[in-house]
Structure 1
C-alpha cells in the first residue's frame, strides 16, 4: 500500500492482553560471557508475549496477519518505491495503548521467518520499556551509538532466540530529541537500512502525543505501525497523532486489547482516520 498524501491506515485487531507492565521487579534476561542475552521465556510468557511454545495460538496467528503486509513491503522495497521499508516504527497516540507489547511481539513473530532476521530497537529513550521487558539494565545503546561513544557491534545484543537481536535505548539524555533528529542519527538509520536489507528493524517509539521524539523517528522510517487501544482512545486524539505521520508513506494500524477476539468481528481492511 503506497501512499502519496494522507497516510492510509490498515487496521488489524488484536485480542491481546493489556499493555506490558511498566515496572519490572527483577532482570528477566542475563548477559552471558559471550555477550549474548539469555531470554527468560517464562517471564515473557507471563507478560502475554509470543514465545515459541505458543506458536499455534490465537496470538501467534494474529501477529502472522500483522506482519505479512509489513514483510511484503520489505520484500518489494526495490520495486514498490517505499524507501527504508525494512525500518518499522511502532508507536501510539498516548501511553498505555500497548505499543511496546506490539513491538516486542511483532519482532518475536518476524524472528520465526525462515529468511529474515530482526533487530528490536528501544527508541523510547526516556522510558525504555523494551529494555525493562527484556531485563536489560544499564547498557549502552542507541543514544550512545549516535553520540559516537560506542560502535554498532557494542550495542547490538544477540539473543538466544534465533534471528532476534536487541539494541537498548542507552543513556538518558536531556537533549534526546535533538540527538534523534541529528544528522548522525539520519546517517545511522540510512546505513542500517541499506547494509542490512534482509534484516527488519523494529523501533519502539515514544507515544506521538506524549513526546516529540516519536514524530522525529517517524520521519526516518519507511513504515509505521500505529497501536490504538480498542474502545478507549478518542477519535480526535487518533486524528491528531496521525497528522504527525505525514512524512511516512506507509502507516498501518493495530487495534489492541479488543474484546471481540479472533473469529468474532476480526477486522482487516483499509481506512483513513482523517475521514
Structure 2
C-alpha cells in the first residue's frame, strides 16, 4: 500500500493543458493482415479495414497523443518510454490496462498509450477492446467498422476482417461494437486463448494493449490476466477507497505490475509512478 499511496501523491494528469478537477487527460486467415517490412518503414493494410479519424471527435474524447501541438501529448510519450523500457527489459509484449472500479479513465489512457507506442519507428501497436461488458474503444476513437469482436465470437468474421487501421501508421485496433453476454466465459474459452497467442506472436515488433474491465466489478480481468505479460493499473485521483486499492493489489499479487497511472489529478506534473 505504501507504493500506491506514494503514487497517489506523485502522479497527476491534466487535460488539454488545463488543470481540471475530476477530469481525465484521456480459423486464421493471415493473407489480409497488415504486411510489415523489415525496418517497419512501410505498412500496407487491407483498404477495406482502413478508417480515418476525426480530430474534433478525438479532442472531445481526450485523445491527444496523435497531436504533438497538444500540450498534454508529452504525458503519453513519457509514459510510453517507461512502459517500453520496462517491457523490453523483461521480454514482455502484452500489457493489460485495468482499474479497480469504473470511471478511472483506463480506456482513454489505453488509446493514448497505443497511439504513442505506434509513433515509435521500431514498434507497432495493437489495441484490443476486451472490455466486453462495456466496450468504449470504438466510441472514443469514432470508429464505425461493420465487423468487430462480436462477429468473430459469433463465427461471422475472420480475424483479418475485424482488425482496423485508424489512419495512423503502425497502429491497429480490434474493436468491440456491443456488449457481449457471458463475457467471462468467452474470455476464458480456448478460442480466445488461441487468439491472444496469435496477436502476440505474429510480429516481434508488436506491443499488444488489452483494455480490460474494472477488476473489482467482474471476474473478466482475472480470467485474462494469466495470459498477459504485465499490467498497467489506472487509478482515478480521489475516486477509489483505500480498501478498493488494497483489494486490487491483492488480486494482482500474481501479475507483473508494470506501473501505476493516477488519472484526474489537479496538479500539473508527471502522471505516473514506477517501482
TM-score (normalizing by structure 2): 0.79
232-241 or 167-176: which moved more? 167-176
- Structure with the largest fraction of strand: 1
Given that 1:119 and 1:199 are in contact with CA atoms closer than 8 Å, whether structure 2 keeps it comes out as yes
Given that 2:261 and 2:272 are in contact with CA atoms closer than 8 Å, whether structure 1 keeps it comes out as no
Q: What is the 5 A alignment of 1:238-253? A: 238-253=245-260
1:157 alignment partner, SS class: coil
Offset at 1:150? 2.2
Gapped runs of 5+ residues in structure 2?
A: 16-22, 27-45
Count of paired positions: 245
Tell me if 1:69 matches 2:82. Answer: yes
Shift in CA distance, 129/170, structure 1 to aligned 2, threshold 3 Å: closer
Offset at 1:144? 3.8
Given that 1:218 and 1:247 are in contact with CA atoms closer than 8 Å, whether structure 2 keeps it comes out as no
Question: Deviations 1:125-174 (Å, cap 9, x if unpaired)?
Answer: 12111121122347432354355442221110112111111101255432
1:16 aligned to 14, 17, 42, which one?
Answer: 14
Question: Whole-Å Cα distance in 2 between the matches of residues 143 and 196 of structure 1?
Answer: 24
Question: Whole-Å Cα distance in 1 between the matches of residues 266 and 25 of structure 2?
Answer: 17
Question: Whole-Å Cα distance in 2 between the matches of residues 213 and 20 of structure 1?
Answer: 26
Given that 1:44 and 1:51 are in contact with CA atoms closer than 8 Å, whether structure 2 keeps it comes out as no
2:208 alignment partner, SS class: strand
Gapped runs of 5+ residues in structure 1?
A: 1-5, 22-31, 271-275
Question: Whole-Å Cα distance in 1 between the matches of residues 62 and 144 of structure 2?
Answer: 21
2:48 alignment partner, SS class: coil
TM-score (normalizing by structure 1): 0.79
Question: Whole-Å Cα distance in 1 between the matches of residues 253 and 131 of structure 2?
Answer: 20
Given that 1:104 and 1:120 are in contact with CA atoms closer than 8 Å, whether structure 2 keeps it comes out as yes
230-239 or 163-172: which moved more? 163-172
Shift in CA distance, 145/20, structure 1 to aligned 2, threshold 3 Å: farther
- Structure with the largest fraction of helix: 2
Question: Deviations 1:94-120 (Å, cap 9, x if unpaired)?
Answer: 110111111111111112111111111
Match of 1:153 in 2: 160
Output the aligned Cα RMSD: 2.7
Match of 2:51 in 1: 37
Given that 2:233 and 2:257 are in contact with CA atoms closer than 8 Å, whether structure 1 keeps it comes out as no
Given that 1:49 and 1:105 are in contact with CA atoms closer than 8 Å, whether structure 2 keeps it comes out as yes
Match of 1:3 in 2: none
Match of 1:91 in 2: 98
141-150 or 121-130: which moved more? 141-150
Question: Whole-Å Cα distance in 1 between the matches of residues 250 and 147 of structure 2?
Answer: 33
Given that 2:125 and 2:206 are in contact with CA atoms closer than 8 Å, whether structure 1 keeps it comes out as yes
1:169 aligned to 169, 173, 176, which one?
Answer: 176
Q: What is the 5 A alignment of 1:180-219? A: 180-219=187-226
Given that 1:89 and 1:225 are in contact with CA atoms closer than 8 Å, whether structure 2 keeps it comes out as yes
Question: Whole-Å Cα distance in 1 between the matches of residues 80 and 129 of structure 2?
Answer: 19
Tell me if 1:47 matches 2:61. Answer: yes
Offset at 1:93? 0.5
